[in-house]
């Protein structure tokens, strides 16, 4: 056992399915050809099962953005502004994930969306998106460790925060070094607890709204009438959009799992479709209850942030209902959510860095994958940076993390926009090469128009955020607030320009007829695939309406 354990850390043996020799030997490979070959030959292990992916899809982004971040959105947008912000963002997320599903099932390769950006738009965009996404989750690990240490203070405020930071850090390091299967198992149970907690909260909230709580006070729509549905008019609604985007952040992580999924054709579509249920039930359902039970003028909402779990409107709603004991239970759920996001952030960061290394966009040694299928160096780098959370005991922690988050504060929106454009370009390449959609194992339910809608919506959110950054709510224009809100854009632009100068490649986009739509595709017999799909559709058409409806969404 010891020898087996020790040998598992050795470099994985490369089993290439496609090599440079498959190309003309006299032809020098271009950057994008080399990128496609390396991504197709990833040594990551396919160990994630269907139940892992489905639960990751449902619960991966149920974290502090939902439990805590919505408090600030409620305060600035009001109850109607909160719901509108999350609903509008949800439509874009759903359309975006459908396009991502089509690409991920067709190309279950390492790197996911940053590889798609390199492949279907151009490498500099993939470089910028990949490093921006890396920074987003790289910073998130220490941020979540700090959030966990603050959550513990709900029960014990006497012990130094750094003690709990070390405890939680060791727990995350242990999980992440066990490999992708351990990540899947941990996220399965973390997500299950979060899902059950949200469902329980919704049921309890309905009882409280109807006057069934200990105080027997009928809440009804009081908080919607007084002081009103909107806190700051249209500007308040706009301000909730970016908070909503942060809350939904992590939804796209399902695209990173494609290279480590046992059966992408079966499991990825089901996981992608779960996005619909998560949006309807776990977000809009719970937020409607929060907006109904908590008044947006409540002083406890002031100062709420992603590192302050004590300001959770979920906890405030339970306290207002007069229910004792449950606030502690919900804070425990928030703690689990925080650790879950910390675990997921190591997964996202390590896989992003591994993909960048495979594409020649990061030092080659950072792409080291061992025999257990772990991108070992990338995991260790991410875990080591987690110790930055020891700043938890400092009185400057909020300022430090605000500026670190500002570096990639718009990362989710940039990533979704890149997915939209990648899907549009992929469809354009298919048309240019006279290829049929019948070749695809999964086709986006929203079609290419869904990606156009997602691209337009994400672009409008960036414009709206620019407006809020220049003219912040309740304040005057100032450089500090602007860069805290919009620093991510110049960082992304600088990354794109750096790659152009570095590679001396000033191509703005790859022409549709030159896009490679074959390298790295799932090894599927086209005739068998089409026959299987036809049989499945024929069998489904004979089922009752409710079964067909369920299968469409699940």
Q: What is the tens place of the pLDDT at every residue in 150-162?
A: 778 777 777 777 7
pLDDT of residue 83: 92
Paired strand residues for 48: 261
Enter the DSSP assignment of 261.
B
Over 80: is that where the pLDDT of 514 sits? yes
Residues 6+ apart with CB under 8 A from 435: 429, 517
Asked if the model's pLDDT at residue 75 lies above 70, the reply is: yes
Give the start-to-end residue ranges of the domains of the chain: 54-523, 527-554
Q: What's the whole-number average pLDDT of the chain?
A: 81
Produce one character per residue of 497-513: b if its CB has 16 or more CB atoms within 10 Å, e if not: eebbeeeeeeeeebebe
239, burial (CB in 10 Å: exposed 0-12, middle 13-18, buried 19+): buried
Residue 52 structure tokens: 């892992």
Per-residue pLDDT tens digits for 25-56 = 445 666 677 766 766 666 666 677 777 777 77
User: Could you give the CA distance from residue 90 to residue 104 in angstroms, rounded to a whole number?
Assistant: 20
Spatial distance between the Cα atoms of 366 and 348, rounded to a whole number of angstroms = 14
| Predicted local distance difference test score (pLDDT) of residue 27 | 52
Structure tokens at 456: 């337009």
CA dihedral 205, 209, 210, 212 (to 10 degrees): 60
Domain 54-523: top CATH class: mainly alpha
pLDDT at 302: 58
Least confident of 75-89, 190-204, 405-419, 452-466: 405-419
Amino acid 525: pLDDT: 64
Least confident range from 51-60, 124-133, 445-454, 496-505: namely 51-60
Q: What is the pTM of this model?
A: 0.88
First-to-last alpha carbon distance for the chain, in angstroms, is: 42
């Amino acid at each position: 056992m010891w020898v087996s354990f020790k040998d598992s850390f050795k470099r994985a043996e490369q089993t290439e399915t496609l090599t440079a020799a498959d190309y003309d030997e006299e032809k020098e490979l271009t950057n994008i050809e080399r990128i496609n070959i390396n991504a197709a030959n990833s040594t990551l292990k396919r160990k994630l099962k269907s139940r892992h992916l489905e639960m990751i899809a449902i619960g991966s982004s149920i974290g502090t953005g939902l439990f805590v971040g919505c408090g600030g959105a409620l305060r600035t947008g009001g109850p109607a502004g909160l719901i509108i912000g999350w609903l509008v963002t949800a439509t874009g997320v759903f359309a975006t994930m459908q396009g991502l599903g089509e690409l991920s099932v067709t190309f279950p390769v390492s790197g996911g969306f940053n590889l798609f950006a390199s492949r279907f738009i151009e490498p500099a965009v993939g470089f910028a998106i990949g490093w921006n996404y890396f920074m987003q989750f790289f910073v998130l690990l220490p941020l979540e460790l700090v959030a966990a240490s603050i959550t513990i203070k709900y029960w014990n405020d006497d012990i130094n925060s750094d003690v709990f930071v070390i405890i939680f850090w060791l727990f995350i390091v242990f999980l992440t070094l066990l490999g992708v299967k351990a990540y899947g198992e941990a996220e399965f149970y973390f997500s299950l607890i979060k899902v059950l907690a949200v469902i329980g909260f919704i049921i309890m909230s309905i009882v409280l709204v109807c006057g069934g709580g200990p105080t027997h006070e009928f809440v009804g729509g009081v908080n919607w009438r007084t002081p009103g549905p909107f806190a700051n008019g249209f500007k308040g609604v706009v301000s909730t959009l970016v908070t909503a985007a942060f809350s939904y952040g992590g939804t796209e992580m399902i695209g990173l799992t494609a290279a480590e999924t046992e059966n992408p054709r079966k499991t990825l579509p089901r996981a992608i479709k779960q996005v619909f249920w998560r949006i309807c039930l776990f977000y809009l359902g719970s937020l409607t209850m929060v907006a109904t039970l908590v008044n947006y003028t409540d002083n406890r909402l002031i100062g709420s942030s992603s590192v302050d779990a004590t300001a959770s409107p979920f906890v405030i709603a339970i306290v207002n209902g007069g229910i004792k004991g449950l606030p502690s239970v919900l804070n425990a759920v928030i703690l689990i959510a925080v650790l879950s996001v910390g675990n997921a952030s190591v997964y996202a960061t390590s896989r992003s860095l591994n993909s960048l290394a495979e594409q020649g966009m990061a030092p080659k040694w950072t792409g080291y994958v061992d025999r257990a299928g772990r991108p070992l160096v990338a995991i260790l780098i991410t875990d080591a940076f987690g110790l930055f959370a020891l700043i938890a005991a400092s009185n400057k922690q909020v300022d430090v993390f605000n500026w670190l988050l500002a570096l990639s504060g718009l990362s989710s929106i940039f990533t979704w926009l890149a997915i939209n454009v990648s899907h549009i370009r992929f469809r354009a390449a298919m048309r240019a090469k006279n290829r049929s959609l019948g070749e695809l194992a999964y086709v986006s339910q929203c079609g290419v128009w869904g990606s156009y809608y997602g691209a337009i919506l994400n672009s409008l959110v960036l414009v709206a955020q620019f407006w809020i950054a220049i003219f912040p709510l309740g304040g005057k224009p100032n450089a500090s607030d602007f860069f805290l809100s919009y620093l991510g854009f110049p960082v992304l632009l600088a990354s794109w320009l750096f790659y152009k100068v570095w590679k001396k490649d000033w191509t703005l986009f790859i022409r549709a007829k030159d896009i490679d739509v074959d390298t790295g595709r799932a090894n599927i017999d086209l005739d068998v695939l089409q026959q299987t799909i036809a049989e499945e559709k024929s069998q489904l058409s004979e089922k009752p309406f409710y079964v067909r409806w369920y299968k469409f969404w699940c």
